[in-house]
Chain A
Amino acid sequence: MTRISVKVDGTTYQDEVEPRLLLIHYLRDRLGLTGTPIGCDTSNCGACTVDLDGESVKSCSVLAVQTDGSEVTTVQGLAHNGELTGLQRAFHERHALQCGYCTPGMIMAARDLLRENPHPTSDEVRHALEGNLCRCTGYQNIVRAVLSAAEASEQGVRA
């Protein structure tokens, strides 16, 4: 067992964890943060994407011990006092989710994209999100939502 201290969605947790424990299982099974789902076992689907110290990562590809001293943000840490972020709102308004299973990962990946490239083209959005699979939407409304969130952020809305 290894002792870690990690801040998740604003709360600091100190835990003893097995070295093999994946971050996604730590979040879901130990912290009860089930907002981030698991969609595959080969790091292809991206459903479990979270933010680790300002970078989006697939939390199935990170060990919990690697996050010692780090800050993690999940989809559950985005909205403040019930106020959705620009991306969450854009996903809602543009119908960028159907079953919603890929949505947490998709939003976390899109958030990372907009941080690095605040004004992406539609092609850039498609390529930036290619590690996140969606089976429902055909992606078109996801692309629209990300572009519209980018536009809104120019007007000062938090992406």
Chain B
Amino acid sequence: MTEQIVEPEVGRSRPRKEDARLLTGQTNWTDNIDAAGMLHLAVLRSPMAHARIDRIDVSPALERPGVVAAFSGGDLAEGMGSLPCAWPVTEDIVLPDHPPIAVDEVRYAGDPVAVVVARDQYAAADALEAIEVDYEPLPPVLDLEAALQPEAPLVHSDKGTNRCYDWPLKTGEDFDAVRERAEVTVKRRYHQQRLIPNAMEPRAVVVTPLAASGEYTLYSSTQIPHILRIMLAVVTGIPEHKLRVIAPDVGGGFGSKLQVYGEEAITLAVARRIGRPVKWTESRSEGYLATHHGRGMIQDVEIAATSEGKLLGLKVDLLVDMGAYLMLVTPGIPILGAFMYPGIYKMGSYELNVTGVFTTRTPTDAYRGAGRPEATYAIERIMDELAAELGLDPVELRRRNWIGHEEFPYTSIAGLTYDSGNYEAATEKALSLFGYDKLRAEQMDRNDRGDTVRLGIGVSTYTEMCGLAPSRVLRDLRYAAGGWESASIRMLPTGKVEVVTGTSPHGQGHVTCWSQIAADVLGVPFDDVEVIHGDTRAAPQGMDTYGSRSLVVGGTAVHHAALKVVEKARKVAAHLLEASEQDLEFAGGVFSVKGSPDARRTIQEVAFETFTAHDVPDGLVPSINAGHMVDPDNFSYPHGTHLCAVEVDTETGRTHIRSYVCVDDVGRVVNPMIVEGQVHGGLAQGIAQALYEEAVYDDEGNLVSGTMADYLVPSAADLPDFVTDRTETPATSNPLGVKGVGEAGTIASTPAVVGAIVDALRPLGVRDIRMPCTPERVWKAIEEASS
């Protein structure tokens, strides 16, 4: 018997197991799936933002070659429920009906009105134009403030209002009193523009029915196969146990695939109706209308402080664009941000009110960060403004107010208990990597010279809440489900290991990281572990992947399940080694008897002995498989310091990121290479909001930036090299010490970039620039400030 020496896996930059097939094109995207007799579904969408459907006739489409069936909303309405909203944030929230396919009224450009099913995708698309629809235009609702006026036209006339909900939060001292005695107050309005998530894989759905037994398999490009299964069972009436949902290879999500979409319900209903496999794949331009958007909010922010820069309080009013309907967690997105506006700072008063507003635009919902980037933007931008008002360096103002590393655990004014952190350490490291003082000197020099190219420095000392989520907190926030995660581990007879996880990766590298976690606890080789996910039959329990939760909750579940396997194996090993359990040591995958180093069994040998069950202890169930569920006690709180230097050409408005340094503290790191990759990608999306991206609507409610040619997803040439580093303050809320990393880069970077641009132009009188800070907007801001 040879000794297995296994180096610790956690902490190693393991290249990913996922890559092999992705690099060679042996992929299983939903759109790659074919089935015998499969038909193709195409969706006719409203060309108007708001209209009544006076008449619809799909029958001409049936005359077109290759067409098998066509359905209007009315044709499919029977037995079809409303698409679900799982987060009705207040008791009196206005919850409109949301038919997966419109029946008598369309409420955004892109609202589905009819479908065609044909033998190929070309025939289906061609036949859409044969469908006759008479629309009677209704007024669009586009302006968030005007929508709340009494005379405003209504998105949902039966509801009598465009106000979806008001959600207040008030803690500490009364803000009005604080404002009275404050020596300095700063008030600003910020606009969070609408963004289009742009996962590279467009959405797709395939349904294969087994008509005789009423069983259905639904493949979808989704982040949430488990939640989707429950919700589709409710929407379509197909019993949950007859519905299997599979998320095959999924090409990115960023929140946009954390959804229960109309097309999923429609494709399922149509396949059920006609008894044949049906596929729907969105085109990118179709997705810009039909896949939910992110952000979309007006923020009124007021901060009060002493003349020494000690924060006294914060008041935030949000007007949030829900879009036309409430989708899965639409109303909850600003609530995820609500607790983060105070950021890492100590203050005695906090007031916030969120008002959700219906408009005739594509619904909004989760997009990377989901509420927390908006919060971080507001607090970090207004901290800069306050620093300028007080004549303080923005880093110094932050130092005077942040929670000291010795003060953890610390309960923030918003009521969250931050378990750990070290803002000083991350900031010191970032300042030094960035060369802060030298850049400040250069900035001053350029300002003194009146250089046409100015230099600005942006600072973002963010934190976020991740690891969604403690189920009881979700209950208190009126979310309809829990936040636990599940893992189970199967020890196969040959000693190989299957980890079954309830998380549903779409680029994050769970297969690699969960293998690392399991390999460490079990002491088996990394390559002996396989990870199974994304199929409600193979991985039946899960709450899926979003909100930087997978490692913190799901990875922790893997860790605990593996510990249980070891404990079960210990009983078998003790029996085989004729020793008591207490006398066994377990290290590197080997059970050995203390003091008798030759008496040993590997856990993989124990797996085989358990399989044969020839010689297991009396009364012991012959299995060392184990499962575990984790319901976290608290969120996790990654933090960090991001510094951005931007050069701004004052004559053209052109901006150039000269350097970007970030030091993130995401707790203990399982795979540093993957963590760095997550940070890079997050930065790119946060910078994109600052500089490039916006979903633009015209006055009629048409999406003007309606194709990838009109919406600027940045390319390699549009982004800089990033300098990334870490500090490591382990989370105390889970045994791995991990905090989550999926959203950090996006949450932190937007204010750092905009802050840098404003900082560069502050000597010219500029105080704010609306995102995205395009050359035109930057140039106009300079012109307006100088006139």
Contacts and interface: CB of A to CB of B under 8 A. Distances in A.
A97 B715 contact: no
A8 interface: no
Contact of A135 (B673, B678, B685, B745): B685
Given A98-B252, A99-B199, A99-B506, A74 B284 contact: no
B200 A140 contact: no
A131 B198 CA distance: 16
Contact of B673 (A45, A95, A133): A95
B507 interface: yes
B677 interface: yes
A28 B281 CA distance: 14
A137 interface: yes
B680 A42 contact: no
Contacts of B217: none
Interface in B629-680: 673-674, 676-678, 680
B707 A36 contact: no
A100 B716 contact: no
A41 B707 contact: yes
Of B198, B507, B683, the most chain A CB neighbours within 10 A belong to B507
B681 A135 contact: yes
A103 B22 contact: yes
A136 B25 contact: no
A141 B677 contact: yes
A159 interface: no
Contacts of B200: 39, 45, 47, 99, 101-102, 133-136
Interface string A96-133: 01111111100100000000000000100111011111
B185 interface: no
B708 A44 contact: yes
Contacts of A103: 22-23
B24 A140 contact: no
B264 interface: no
B25 A39 contact: no
Interface string A52-92: 00000000000000000000001110110000100010011
Of B19, B20, B673, the most chain A CB neighbours within 10 A belong to B19
B250 interface: yes
Interface residues of A, number: 57
B787 interface: no
Interface in B680-703: 680-685
A40 B708 contact: yes
Interface stretch (B26-34, B418-426, B463-471, B479-487): B26-34
Contacts of B674: 95
Contacts of A95: 13, 15-16, 673-674, 676-677
B24 A79 contact: yes
A139 B684 contact: yes
A75 B681 CA distance: 24
A133 B284 CA distance: 13
B19 A101 contact: no
A137 B15 contact: no
A37 B31 contact: yes
A125 B719 CA distance: 12
Interface in B1-60: 13, 15-16, 18-20, 22-27, 29, 31-32, 34
- The main secondary structure of chain A at its interface with chain B is loop
Given A40-B708, A126-B717, A130-B716, A138 B683 contact: yes
Contacts of A102: 200
A99 to B, nearest CB: 3
Given A39-B201, A99-B507, A74 B25 contact: yes
Contact of B27 (A32, A37, A135): A37
A141 B717 CA distance: 14
B226 to A, nearest CB: 20
B285 interface: yes
Interface residues of B, number: 59
Contacts of A104: 25
B721 interface: yes
Given A37-B27, A102-B200, A140 B22 contact: no
A42 B707 contact: yes
Given A78-B24, A138-B681, A37 B251 contact: yes
A99 B15 contact: no
B22 A127 contact: no
B167 interface: no
A92 B717 contact: no
B508 interface: yes
Nearest to B677: A95
B681 A136 contact: yes
A41 B285 contact: yes
Contact of B284 (A36, A42, A134): A42
Of B283, B284, B674, the most chain A CB neighbours within 10 A belong to B284
B713 interface: yes
A142 interface: yes
B742 to A, nearest CB: 11
B23 A97 contact: yes
B560 to A, nearest CB: 27
A92 B509 CA distance: 12
B462 interface: no
A131 B722 CA distance: 21
B212 interface: no
A131 B24 contact: no
A148 interface: no
A5 interface: no
Contacts of B722: 138, 140
Interface in B178-214: 198-202
B254 interface: yes
Nearest to B32: A34
B708 A45 contact: yes
Nearest to B745: A138
B24 A84 contact: yes
Nearest to A98: B507
Contact of A99 (B122, B252, B285): B252
B199 A135 contact: yes
A91 B23 contact: yes
B703 to A, nearest CB: 14
A39 B283 CA distance: 8
B27 A34 contact: yes
Given A39-B201, A133-B200, A143-B716, A100 B15 contact: no
A154 interface: no
A40 B284 CA distance: 5
Given A84-B24, A140-B722, A100 B202 contact: no
A23 interface: no
B23 A131 contact: no
B715 A129 contact: yes
Contacts of A100: 18-19, 22-23, 27, 249, 251, 507
Contacts of A97: 19, 22-23
B18 to A, nearest CB: 7
Contacts of A78: 24
A76 B24 contact: yes
B709 interface: yes
A141 B680 contact: yes
Given A39-B202, A129-B715, 19 more contacts: A35-B25, A35-B26, A37-B31, A37-B251, A40-B283, A40-B285, A41-B285, A74-B25, A78-B24, A92-B19, A97-B23, A100-B23, A101-B200, A129-B717, A130-B718, A136-B677, A138-B719, A138-B722, A142-B716
9 contacts: A34-B27, A37-B31, A38-B202, A41-B708, A88-B23, A98-B508, A99-B252, A136-B677, A137-B684
Interface of B: 13, 15-16, 18-20, 22-27, 29, 31-32, 34, 120-122, 198-202, 249-252, 254, 283-285, 506-509, 673-674, 676-678, 680-685, 707-709, 713, 715-719, 721-722, 745
Closest 6 CB pairs of A and B: A35-B25, A100-B22, A99-B507, A101-B251, A138-B680, A138-B684
